Amino acid sequence: MDYTNEPVCIKDIEKIAQRVMPGGAWGYYNSGANDEQTKTDNESAFDSYRLHPRMLRDVSKITTHTTVLGQKVRTPLGIAPCALHKLAHADGEAATSRAAAKHGSIMILSTYSTTSLEKVIAQGDGTTQYWMQLYVYQDRHVSETIVRRAEKAGFKAIVLTVDAPMLGRRLVDARNKFNPPPHLRLENFMDPNVVNGTGYAPDLAKSKNETFGATFGANGDQSLSWANGISWLKSITKLPIIVKGVLTAEDTQLAIDHKCAGVIVSNHGGRQLDGALSTIDALPQVVEAANDKIEVYMDGGIRKGSDIFKALALGARAVFVARPVLWGLAYKGEQGAFIALDLLQKELELAMMLTGTTQVSEIDESYVYTP
């Protein structure tokens, strides 16, 4: 179906993005691992949770303000890390950053950004929180350099992705033989004095580190563990460490034991281990194990404001979305990314009003019913 008016929901934006993006780029963003069971479950599992609204409450004033890592944010809806935003729009992560600043929450920047971390945070308004997503490589100096750059630039946390010792098998990408267009650069692997300088041109020869970073499957540190990873990371940064990719109570307890600041309940958008639990289904056991000793966030499958409400009710302090923002970016650049966030934000506020809640702190498991 063609739309002559502005999109009115995330599904509308998804359809527009599919129409305007090249097939390979669309496949890269949209694909999941193997049969895509987990990717599908991430969305469909929300349907198992019904809302349990309360009536005749004063809902004339709604606020979504909350705190994350002790810092105030306008909304518990943030942007999850995703690689290669310039596949969606020429302005890439810089446009996403401007949309995030206007939205007023948190942006997690991917290591595999096509815009340098310094350029991305420079697009903020000084109040937006930026977190840096990190992979750990066999040559840990490469990872350490990114961490130190992020800390110097003003990022507020390191988000360590732990569910990808090897990239999952994504059949769509394999069939498409997808490779990023040669003009796109992994700027976080480049010399910041070059990439952030006035003489920078994208057609410069790729650096050794940039080529190294692009071959993650060969160069990721598969020996990374709780014992040798978290302590190493703590030794090189004072920033809070958030572990992304936790799906179990057991790993939540290990994150607590290693004094991490938070965990993100995530299955990499269904792009790693197919058959893994959906994130909304994994959330309750993680929240129970966290026992308020560590902050719990969630990503995966969120397409409606009511999905955000359900995640908050089940104990998430904040949620993050990636594909909806990328679809918005493909649709209309910075404006499209903001439209995607704003649609979800307004739907969250409506869900709060219709359930009889006026602030995030009131949303708890009593508002969700599982048949």
User: Rg of the Cα trace of the chain?
Assistant: 20
d(CA 100, CA 124): 8
Strand 50-51 relative to strand 368-369, pairing: antiparallel
Q: Rounded to whole angstroms, how far apart are CA atoms 360 and 308?
A: 11
DSSP element (H, E) containing 121:
helix 117-122
The tokens describing 368, both together, are 């969700």
Residue 183 designated active-site: no
85, 89, 103, 268: which one is catalytic? 268
Closest among 321, 265, 296, 335 to 96, alpha carbons compared:
335
Hey, how many other C-beta atoms are within 10 angstroms of the C-beta on 356? 16
Distances in Å between the alpha carbon of 89 and those of 213, 242, 309, 325?
22, 29, 30, 11
Token pair 């350490």 is at which residue?
144
What residue spans of 166-304 are helical by DSSP H?
A: 171-176, 192-195, 208-214, 216-219, 231-236, 249-257, 279-290
Sign of CA dihedral 170, 175, 180, 182: positive
List the catalytic residues: 268
